C-alpha cells in the first residue's frame, strides 16, 4: 500500500474513531450530575481510555514493554466498551427523538429527568462491564468443532484423513505465549495427520511475537503429514515477508498461490489473500490457474482466508475449502453485518460436491472479547471411497 493511501486510511479511521468517542463523551457528560469535580474526573478518565488504544500501538512500535502492554490491553477493552456505549447512546437518542415527536414520558420521568439520566448512565456502565466480562471469559475458552465429511474419491493407501484446522489466531500482545500453548495443546490432543491454518496467525506487528518468543509454542505442534498456512490480511498489514519467514522458521510451511502434493494422495492449495494487491500490488492467481494440471482424481483442499466467491470454488473441483477472517462479527450484533457480507459467515456449507467451512477463529482482533459466538479449533475427519 502506498504511503499516500496509508495516510488517507489513517486519517479516515482516526476521524471516525474520534467522532464516535466525542459523541459518547458529550452524552455521558450531559448525564452526569452538575458537580464540577465529577465532570472533571469523568473527562480525564474518558480521555485516557479513548487515547489508550492509539498510545499502545505507538509505544509498541518503539518497544514492547509493560507500558505498551498496559495501553494495548486498556485500549483493546475500550474498543469493546466504545462499541456498546455507542449503541446505547444511539438508542437513548432515538427514544429522546420519539419523546420530542410524541411526548410519551410519564410524569415521574419528566419530574426527575436529571436523576433518571444519571441512573441510566450508571446502568449503562454496569451493563457494558458485564458484557465485557462475559465476553472476556468466552474468548478464552475455545471449543473443538468436529466435522465428519466424505469425499467421493479413492485415495490409494488411505481411507481417512484427520485434519486440525484453526484460523485468525492473531498472535501478538493480546494473544501471547499462554494462549498459544492452549492452541498447541488442543491441536496436538486431536492427534491430527495434517494441521492447516487459514490465515491471520500473526496480528499485524511481529515484534510482540518475537519478544515474547511465541514461536517456541508453535515448534511443539506435531502432524505426520505437515503443518501448512496461508497469509491473511493481517500478515499483509504487518509485513508478510517477515511474518512468513518467522512462521517457516518455526515449522509452519506458508503457501502463497501454490500447491503441495502430499504423498501422491491429495493436494493442499494455499491461495494468496484477496487483499494482497491492495498492500503489495500482487494479483493473486485465479482458481483455474491454481488448479491447472492437477490430477482430478485426487482430493483437493483449498485454504482461502476470506470466504468470497464460493461458487468459484465449487466450479473448480475443490473438495474442501477452509476459510476464516469473519470472526462471525466477534461481538454481537456485528454478526448481522458479516452475515450480510458473506454467503457463509460461520459454519458449514455444501455447494455441489464441495464442502466449505468458515471458522469463527481462535483468537480476537481489537477487543479481546467474544459475544454471540465461540472461539474454536476445527477437527475434520475426511473419509474417502
Instruction: Determine the structural domain holding residue 93 and report its residue range.
Output: 3-138
Give the pLDDT score at 162.
98
User: Do residue 97 and residue 203 come from a single domain?
Assistant: no
Q: What digits encode the pLDDT tens for the residues 53-91?
A: 999 989 988 888 899 999 999 999 999 999 999 999 999
Give the pLDDT score at 2.
62
End residue of a domain, out of 138, 162, 179:
138
End residue of a domain, out of 138, 160, 186:
138
For residue 189 the three cell numbers come to 490432543
Give 247-297 as a DSSP string.
Answer: HHHTT-EEPSSEEEEETTTEEEEEPPPTTHHHHH-PPPPPHHHHHTT--TT
The number of helix segments (H) and strand segments (E) in the chain equals 14, 12
pTM here?
0.93
Look at the chain and report how many structural domains it folds into.
2
User: Do residue 115 and residue 97 come from a single domain?
Assistant: yes
User: Are 331 and 361 spatial neighbours (Cβ–Cβ below 8 Å)?
Assistant: no
End residue of a domain, out of 138, 164, 199:
138
User: Do residue 270 and residue 171 come from a single domain?
Assistant: yes
Q: What is the CA radius of gyration of the chain?
A: 24
User: Do residue 151 and residue 232 come from a single domain?
Assistant: yes
Give the pLDDT score at 1.
60
User: Do residue 354 and residue 221 come from a single domain?
Assistant: yes
User: Do residue 177 and residue 242 come from a single domain?
Assistant: yes
Name the stretches of the chain with pLDDT < 50. none
User: Do residue 147 and residue 133 come from a single domain?
Assistant: no
For residue 312 the three cell numbers come to 468459484
CATH of the domain at 220: 3.60.21.10
Cis status of the peptide bond prior to 333, with omega within 30 of 0: yes
User: Do residue 373 and residue 299 come from a single domain?
Assistant: yes
User: Do residue 113 and residue 154 come from a single domain?
Assistant: no
User: Do residue 147 and residue 122 come from a single domain?
Assistant: no
Asked whether the CA dihedral 283, 257, 8, 309 is positive or negative, the reply is: positive
Give 21-75 as a DSSP string.
Answer: HHHHHHHHHHHS-S-HHHHHHHHHHHHHHHHHHHHHHHHHHH--SHHHHHHHHHH
Q: What digits encode the pLDDT tens for the residues 170-221?
A: 999 999 999 999 999 999 999 999 999 999 999 988 999 999 999 999 999 9
User: Do residue 101 and residue 168 come from a single domain?
Assistant: no
For Cα atoms 357, 174, 341, give the angle at the middle one, nearest 5 degrees.
Answer: 35
User: Do residue 100 and residue 152 come from a single domain?
Assistant: no
Of 169, 155, 120, 94, whose CA–CA distance to 376 is shortest? 169
- Cα separation of 307 and 45, whole Å? 40
Give the pLDDT score at 369.
97
What single DSSP character describes residue 103?
-
Amino acid at each position: 500500500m502506498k504511503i499516500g493511501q496509508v495516510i488517507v486510511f489513517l486519517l479516515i479511521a482516526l476521524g471516525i474513531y474520534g467522532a464516535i468517542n466525542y459523541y459518547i463523551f458529550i452524552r455521558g457528560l450531559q448525564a452526569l450530575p452538575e458537580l464540577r469535580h465529577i465532570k472533571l474526573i469523568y473527562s480525564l478518565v474518558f480521555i485516557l481510555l479513548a487515547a489508550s488504544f492509539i498510545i499502545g500501538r505507538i509505544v509498541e512500535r518503539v518497544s514492547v514493554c509493560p507500558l505498551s502492554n498496559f495501553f494495548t490491553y486498556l485500549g483493546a477493552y475500550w474498543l469493546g466498551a466504545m462499541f456498546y456505549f455507542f449503541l446505547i447512546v444511539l438508542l437513548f437518542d432515538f427514544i429522546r427523538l420519539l419523546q420530542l415527536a410524541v411526548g410519551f414520558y410519564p410524569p415521574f420521568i419528566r419530574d426527575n429527568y436529571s436523576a433518571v439520566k444519571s441512573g441510566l448512565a450508571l446502568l449503562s456502565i454496569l451493563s457494558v462491564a458485564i458484557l465485557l466480562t462475559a465476553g472476556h471469559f468466552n474468548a478464552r475458552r475455545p471449543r473443538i468443532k468436529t466435522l465428519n465429511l466424505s469425499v467421493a474419491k479413492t485415495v490409494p493407501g488411505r481411507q481417512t484423513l484427520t485434519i486440525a484446522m484453526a484460523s485468525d489466531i492473531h498472535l501478538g500482545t493480546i494473544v501471547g505465549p499462554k494462549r498459544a500453548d492452549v492452541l498447541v495443546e488442543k491441536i496436538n490432543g486431536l492427534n491430527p495427520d495434517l494441521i492447516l491454518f487459514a490465515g491471520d496467525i500473526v496480528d499485524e506487528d511481529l515484534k510482540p511475537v518475537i519478544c515474547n518468543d511465541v514461536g517456541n509454542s508453535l515448534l511443539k505442534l506435531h502432524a505426520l503429514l505437515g503443518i501448512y498456512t496461508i497469509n491473511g490480511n493481517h500478515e499483509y498489514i504487518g509485513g508478510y515477508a517477515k511474518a512468513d519467514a518467522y512462521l517457516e522458521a518455526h515449522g509452519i510451511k506458508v503457501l502463497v498461490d501454490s500447491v503441495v502434493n502430499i504423498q501422491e494422495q491429495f493436494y493442499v492449495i494455499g491461495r494468496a489473500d484477496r487483499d494482497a494487491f491492495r498492500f503489495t500490488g500482487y494479483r493473486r492467481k485465479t482458481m483455474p490457474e491454481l488448479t491447472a494440471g492437477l490430477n482430478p482424481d485426487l482430493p483437493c483442499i483449498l485454504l482461502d482466508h476470506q470466504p468470497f466467491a464460493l461458487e468459484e470454488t465449487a466450479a473448480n473441483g475443490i473438495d474442501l475449502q477452509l476459510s476464516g477472517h469473519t470472526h462471525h462479527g466477534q461481538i454481537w450484533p456485528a454478526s448481522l453485518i458479516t452475515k450480510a457480507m458473506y454467503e457463509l459467515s460461520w459454519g458449514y456449507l455444501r455447494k455441489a460436491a464441495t464442502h466449505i467451512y468458515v471458522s469463527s477463529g481462535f483468537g480476537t482482533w481489537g477487543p479481546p472479547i467474544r459475544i454471540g459466538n465461540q472461539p474454536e479449533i476445527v477437527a475434520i475427519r475426511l473419509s474417502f471411497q
